[in-house]
């Protein structure tokens, strides 16, 4: 089942280190919805070596902006240490549903970009997250070597 899920995966957190001696791990959420962890039954973990596997979530706690998680089969500090710096991934179907009028950034890729006057600039090909504001990369057409970089403000 995991092979089919690997087509479109999205990271929602990163394991920083073991937490305690019983296999718990400390996670930095990378999602806008950290409350999602409380309702998760499983998650795909990708280790820094690129190995992916689905783990059953047994326990979730919140602690000072971090999430403390325990996974089935990870029962001691040595097993938890093997997950250090691993990413927590979910499939597109497991993303938090957004309210009407809201969207995920990946849903914008491939859309036509048009000025307020109705002039087509090209297709949105990438989005850079700069911190202050996102920057949209727009490719005018396949033959044009120059992209537009548009601040999303």
User: Per residue of the chain (153 residues), what is the pLDDT tens digit?
Assistant: 444 444 689 999 999 999 999 999 999 999 889 999 999 999 999 999 999 999 999 999 999 999 999 999 999 999 999 999 999 999 999 998 888 988 888 889 999 999 999 989 999 999 988 878 889 999 997 777 789 899 988
Which pLDDT belongs to residue 9? 93
Which pLDDT belongs to residue 1? 40
144: left (phi over 0), alpha (psi -120 to 50) or beta: beta
CA–CA distance, 40 with 58 (Å, rounded to integer): 9
Which pLDDT belongs to residue 151? 92
Please tell me whether residue 81 adopts helix, strand or coil conformation.
Answer: helix
Q: Which among 73, 14, 78, 18 has a CA at the least distance from the CA of 46?
A: 14
Which pLDDT belongs to residue 70? 98
Which pLDDT belongs to residue 25? 98
- Of the CA atoms within 13 Å of residue 109, those in its CB half-sphere come to 7
Q: Which among 31, 33, 22 has a CA at the least distance from the CA of 70?
A: 22
The first and second tokens of residue 137, run together, are 């990369």
Which pLDDT belongs to residue 20? 94
């Amino acid at each position: 089942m995991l092979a089919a899920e690997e087509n479109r995966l999205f990271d929602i957190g990163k394991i920083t280190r073991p937490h305690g001696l019983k296999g718990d791990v400390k996670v930095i959420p990378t999602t806008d919805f950290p409350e999602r962890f409380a309702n998760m039954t499983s998650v795909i973990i990708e280790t820094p070596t690129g190995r992916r596997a689905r783990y059953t979530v047994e326990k979730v706690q919140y602690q000072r902006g971090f999430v403390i998680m325990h996974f089935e089969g990870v029962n001691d500090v040595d097993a938890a240490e093997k997950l250090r710096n691993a990413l927590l991934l979910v499939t597109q179907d497991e993303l938090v549903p957004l309210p009407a009028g809201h969207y995920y950034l990946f849903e914008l890729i491939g859309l036509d970009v048009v000025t307020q006057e109705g002039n087509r600039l090209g297709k949105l090909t990438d989005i850079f997250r700069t911190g202050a504001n996102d920057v949209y990369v727009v490719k005018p057409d396949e033959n044009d070597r120059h992209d537009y970089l548009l601040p999303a403000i």
